[in-house]
Amino acid sequence: MPQNDYMTLLGLAMRAGKISYGEESVREAFFTRHVALVLLASDAGKRTAESFRRLAEKNGVRIMTLPENKQDLGHAIGTGLCAVAAVTNKGFAESFAAKAEKHIGGVRI
């Protein structure tokens, strides 16, 4: 899938050190209260998705399921496959959500 401007923003956030990725790292970010937005790949496992939905809801954090799959999400942040990522900066999170919603339209939340 070609990179969209909202996915390119994830690469910038990663280079700025404002992305946690992978289940363990994202959970740790929740425990340190550094999560502004959780992103799920479209093909994230059911258990993974439900677990992070509950965690996000419990902590009042927005969660978005993207149309991109694990490979695309990982590519955007410069890693291998990635089912879940967290944006740890409020500014990046707001910019990403606004761009994604504008481009995608109805992003599942």
Kindly report the CATH number assigned to the domain that includes residue 44. 3.30.1330.30
Using H for helix, E for strand and C for coil, what is the string for the chain?
CCCCHHHHHHHHHHHCCCEEECHHHHHHHHHCCCCCEEEECCCCCHHHHHHHHHHHHHHCCEEEECCCCHHHHHHHHCCCCCCEEEECCHHHHHHHHHHHHHHHCCCEC
pTM of the model: 0.90
Whether 9 is in a domain gets the answer yes
Give the domain range for residue 48.
Answer: 5-103
pLDDT digits (tens, 9 = 90+) for 21-72: 999 999 999 999 889 999 999 999 999 999 999 999 999 999 999 999 999 9
Tally of structural domains, the chain: 1
